[in-house]
Structure 1
Amino acid sequence: MASSIGDPSKVKYRIQSTTSGTKKFKKTKEGASVEDKKDETKDDEGSITDDIRNADFYHGLIPKTDAEALLKKEGDFVLRKTEHNTGVIVLCISVRVDAEKVKHFVINTDAAKNYFIDVAHKETTVSNLINFYKTTKNPLSAASGAKLRKAVERPPWAINHDAIFIMKKLGQGAFGEVYLAEYVSEKGREKVAVKTMKGEASRDARNKFLKEARMMRKYDHKNVVRILGVAVHEHPLMIAMECCEGGAMSSYLKKNGKTMPMKEKNRFVAEAAEGLSYLEKQQCIHRDIAARNCLLSGKNNTVKISDFGMSDDKAILHDDTLEKVPVKWLAPETLQDRIYSLKSDVWAFGVLVWEIYSNGAEPYPGLSRLQTRAKIVLTDYRMKMPDDTPAEITKIVTQSWDKVPDKRPAISAVLPDLKKLADK
């Protein structure tokens, strides 16, 4: 892992994650016992020393789900950060006890700054503590019988903060700011988009942020935004993704839609469908398919599906909250019963197609969220496609907006026709 790479002289500024500074990027104390942390939750400078920060088995602030997935055999272990109580970040060792169980042990410190898991044995450094248990084969606790055998190294997707150099702010995301940055790796330098997580975010928000990264790591397709890595050692947490310099499709349509050739619009539809067909096969319910979440990349403005913040890989998802959900892209069963599925994504794809041929206009023009919901649910209202929309497209959208989810076609089923139209 790189520790001092990149050229700060070539960038406007860099997020300083290893020094104290503004409140925005100030770090959180860990490694101390919970009792010592009442007034110190904003300063962890003394606990994460370089020998730990640079250790291959230190995974930073990854959630329990990610840690447990890495531990395959009995005795496999990682060192990570976790939130022990609200606002209290601590160091912890996660170790696989057997095929069914993984145990998580908080590392405490006493007044003399000695580290311990069990008060019966203390060491002056975390490294020494880990080495003691690894070499003596003593269990971390008598009750668990958990023993440290093999340290699991950070996976390739875990990148260091100092490999990322911020260039400029692009906008605001659901969890924090989004930046254009330069990522420096063994392969060289490349421009990336970086999503950040606010340091003061709750555990729930942090887990959702890292779940998005976990979902993205599964996917590899030319029409899906590619993730390059996740930086979780310091605050702010970062997700580095391929840079799509064409920006959001919604903005492009508003600016260029009226002068776009029909062939280009047809291509946008086909490429979005290719990405969504791939996600469909991966059993990914995206839940937020819209022109604003399609990015354009490269000289030809290749369409890339992005923003997996609401995504899930369950067959059917029930979510009672609609507060922040974009109502105008939701299927009737979602509006009524809060049910999401691959078929509700098909409905949203139909709305995305309407956006493309409407030059980026907002769906259900002139209607509020409440009015839109009422018209869809109570009167079975459907938008009219713009007059110049190809007949083949109108037919597919009409099928996608069937009131009965099972009657909507799979996106993979309509993809061949969409690609044929785009190739004309």
Structure 2
Amino acid sequence: MCAQRSNKSTKPPSSERSSEGSAKSSENTARSETSFELSEMSVNMKTAVDEKAKEEKPHTTENLMGTLPAFVLEEIRALEGVSYYHGMVARDLVETRLLRVGDFLVRATDNRIMSFEFILSFFNKKRLHSHLTIKGDVATERWSLGVSNIVTFRTIGELCDYYKAYPLGNTIVLARAVSKSKHMIAPDRIVFDLKKDLLGSGNFSDVYKGIMALETKYVKVALKNTKLLDEVMDADKNPNANKVKKEMISEAEVMSQLRHANITSFFGMAADRMPVLLVIEFCQGGNLEGHLRKNGSIITHGERMLYLVDASAGLRYIHAMSITHRDLAVRNCLISVNGFVKLSDFGMGLKIRRHNMTGSSETGDNCPARWMAPELIFKHPTKFSKQSDIWSLGIASFEVFTNASKPFAELNGTEVMKAVKLGKYPTTPPEAGPFLTGLLTQVHRLEASTRIGADMFHKQILDHCLHNNLLTLDNLTLNMIPGVKRERMFHFDGYTPQVVVYDKEHKDQGYQDAPSEMLANIVWKG
């Protein structure tokens, strides 16, 4: 079925950064402001938004679908409760889940310009993956397989049930329905405003603040989405947008394995319809880059060291999980509601083999050269490794002690690449002190294998801070940020993410442990 979409595009305003917390200072307001917004939206507890709110404000993912026939929208809503409907998931990703003859699932695609299609994917008797379009007839509001219009069905569920009982030919056999990932979230539970809630924007994705509806309460979250393909009219550009959509799904798979006080928490993904949304912990304090630039003149040496203790703890954890970050910089360090610095934006993150310190991706990564390790600069770069992240951590340390100054500010892009190839790095400022200056000499080494590891970096900087009584909760500039309060130096074992909660009357209940309902289906390990 090919349902035509409207030409009208709902394009949000642009921003220079794409990060869950890269909001303007006006976004970092007290939580009471959001409470007012909630009452304005008239959210229904069971469906996340009532019909009146749908008509008046473009707050739900359904409003972003464009104009589709009513019976198609009805089928989308019906399928969202079906375990084998995987939503907007790419072909190559679902094929990895179809392992036995007769395995099947239903997915959606929009890779044809201005269209939306349902696809039946299955593993046939020839042990090949097949993908058949499910055609929809607007006149009769009936569904059929693209290979045969003889039998039509009222719903796609009925279509699947029929072909389980009556195989079509020698190859189309449906036996075992393959369920979608546990962390999938129904998009109707998510509410946000395209204009008011934009935090940051990139080439192919935007980040918003939003509200996720639970059974008896609401939770403030961050939402990362792919931009509508309506905005990408050039057919040559569509593969790029689809590639980013796949990368977001891969990012969700990576983040679903992580749970740590210094990593932004992942709560799930809404992929049943466009746009695909990652639902992530909302970090009230914005990003560390903005905080350093705004308050740098009054941040103490000890507080800056605390930022590095937090960031290195997060890096140590993901490296222990055999994951590399690949884009470590203060712009991608967020400040949580309880004042912890957290690593974020795992869009370039990569799972690596446990017995191999390196990993590779199919194409080159668009990692900013000023933060890149020397081995990644060459025309034919070596594989990215954990030690490449360590180099970037050293550059982030420079940023922390220069109030987020641009590394190699005096050099243009070409000059930066030449310098980094030779193993050069920004001069550590005197304010960093002799200890950190010495530690960074173990980080910025041309040969990756000789660099200190994240575990040792964290241990040395933490031991130094504790031995010299540098860490204190007194006079933290973090606590000057509206809605942010750091009340303890370290999290307890068995960390549970903290979220801003609203009751059913939309009243702000402050930050609390994330409700178990948000955590039940996440695949956390470690």
TM-score (norm 1): 0.83
Out of 342, 345, 348, the residue aligned to residue 386 of structure 2 is 342
1:164 Cα deviation after fit: 1.1
1:403 paired residue number: 446
Identify the range of structure 1 (332-341 vs 49-58) with the bigger mean alpha-carbon deviation.
49-58
1:38 paired residue number: none
2:61 paired residue number: 17
Q: Secondary structure at the match of 1:400?
A: coil
Contact 2:264-2:280 at 8 Å conserved across structures: yes
1:351 Cα deviation after fit: 0.3
Q: How many pairs does the alignment contain?
A: 395
1:308 Cα deviation after fit: 1.2
| Partner amino acid, structure 2, of 1:124 | F
Q: Secondary structure at the match of 2:391?
A: helix
1:82-101 matches, cutoff 5 A: 82-83=109-110, 85=112, 88-96=115-123
Contact 1:357-1:386 at 8 Å conserved across structures: yes
Contact 1:163-1:185 at 8 Å conserved across structures: yes
Contact 1:291-1:360 at 8 Å conserved across structures: yes
Identify the range of structure 1 (258-267 vs 312-321) with the bigger mean alpha-carbon deviation.
312-321
| Partner amino acid, structure 2, of 1:361 | S
1:74 Cα deviation after fit: 5.4
Change (3 A) 1:238 1:342: same
2:292 paired residue number: 253
Contact 1:246-1:297 at 8 Å conserved across structures: yes
1:16 Cα deviation after fit: 3.9
2:456 paired residue number: 413
Change (3 A) 1:13 1:47: closer
Query: Where do 5+ consecutive residues of structure 1 fail to align?
Result: 20-24, 28-41
Out of 139, 161, 181, the residue aligned to residue 187 of structure 2 is 161
1:309 paired residue number: 347
Out of 156, 162, 169, the residue aligned to residue 132 of structure 1 is 162
2:72 paired residue number: 47
1:326 paired residue number: 368
Q: Secondary structure at the match of 1:309?
A: coil
1:32 paired residue number: none
2:144 corresponds to 1:116: yes
Change (3 A) 1:422 1:283: same
Q: Secondary structure at the match of 1:304?
A: strand
| Partner amino acid, structure 2, of 1:328 | R
- Whole-Å Cα distance in 2 between the matches of residues 120 and 6 of structure 1? 37
Out of 220, 233, 244, the residue aligned to residue 205 of structure 1 is 244
Contact 1:175-1:197 at 8 Å conserved across structures: yes
Identity %: 24
Q: Secondary structure at the match of 1:131?
A: helix
2:493 paired residue number: none
1:147 paired residue number: 174
TM-score (norm 2): 0.68
- Whole-Å Cα distance in 2 between the matches of residues 280 and 213 of structure 1? 17
Change (3 A) 1:59 1:321: closer
1:282 Cα deviation after fit: 1.9
Identify the range of structure 1 (242-251 vs 362-371) with the bigger mean alpha-carbon deviation.
362-371
Spell out, residue by residue over 1:243-294, the C-alpha distance to the aligned partner (whole angstroms, 9 max, x if none): 1011111111111222112221111101111111111122222211000001
- Whole-Å Cα distance in 2 between the matches of residues 276 and 257 of structure 1? 24
Contact 1:248-1:294 at 8 Å conserved across structures: yes
1:235 Cα deviation after fit: 2.2
Change (3 A) 1:422 1:175: farther
2:410 corresponds to 1:366: yes
2:421 corresponds to 1:377: yes
Change (3 A) 1:26 1:376: same
Q: Secondary structure at the match of 1:390?
A: helix
Contact 2:49-2:60 at 8 Å conserved across structures: no
Spell out, residue by residue over 1:287-331, the C-alpha distance to the aligned partner (whole angstroms, 9 max, x if none): 1100000101023x2011111112222433267646x43110011
Identify the range of structure 1 (329-338 vs 179-188) with the bigger mean alpha-carbon deviation.
179-188
| Partner amino acid, structure 2, of 1:192 | V
Change (3 A) 1:101 1:267: farther
Identify the range of structure 1 (82-91 vs 176-185) with the bigger mean alpha-carbon deviation.
82-91
Spell out, residue by residue over 1:211-263, the C-alpha distance to the aligned partner (whole angstroms, 9 max, x if none): 22222112121111111111112222211100101111111111122211222
Change (3 A) 1:258 1:141: farther
2:31 paired residue number: none
Contact 2:323-2:351 at 8 Å conserved across structures: yes
Contact 1:3-1:162 at 8 Å conserved across structures: no
Spell out, residue by residue over 1:84-140, the C-alpha distance to the aligned partner (whole angstroms, 9 max, x if none): 656654212233558976543332346855433341752232222112123x1x335
- Whole-Å Cα distance in 1 between the matches of residues 114 and 250 of structure 2? 20
- Whole-Å Cα distance in 1 between the matches of residues 349 and 420 of structure 2? 24
1:370 Cα deviation after fit: 1.4
2:504 paired residue number: none
- Whole-Å Cα distance in 2 between the matches of residues 328 and 108 of structure 1? 50
2:277 corresponds to 1:238: yes
- Whole-Å Cα distance in 2 between the matches of residues 100 and 403 of structure 1? 48
Spell out, residue by residue over 1:131-186, the C-alpha distance to the aligned partner (whole angstroms, 9 max, x if none): 2123x1x33551x353233x344444111222111152212134232111111123
1:229 paired residue number: 268
Contact 1:73-1:99 at 8 Å conserved across structures: no
Change (3 A) 1:98 1:190: farther
2:318 corresponds to 1:276: no
Spell out, residue by residue over 1:322-349, the C-alpha distance to the aligned partner (whole angstroms, 9 max, x if none): 6x43110011111113332211111111
Alignment RMSD, CA only? 2.9
- Whole-Å Cα distance in 2 between the matches of residues 100 and 397 of structure 1? 54
Identify the range of structure 1 (100-109 vs 349-358) with the bigger mean alpha-carbon deviation.
100-109
| Partner amino acid, structure 1, of 2:376 | T
- Whole-Å Cα distance in 2 between the matches of residues 140 and 199 of structure 1? 36
- Whole-Å Cα distance in 1 between the matches of residues 168 and 115 of structure 2? 22
Change (3 A) 1:416 1:141: farther
Query: Where do 5+ consecutive residues of structure 2 fail to align?
Result: 1-44, 233-237, 353-357, 470-526
Out of 245, 262, 268, the residue aligned to residue 301 of structure 2 is 262
Change (3 A) 1:187 1:402: farther
Change (3 A) 1:318 1:59: closer
2:224 paired residue number: 195
1:72 Cα deviation after fit: 6.5
Q: Secondary structure at the match of 1:123?
A: coil
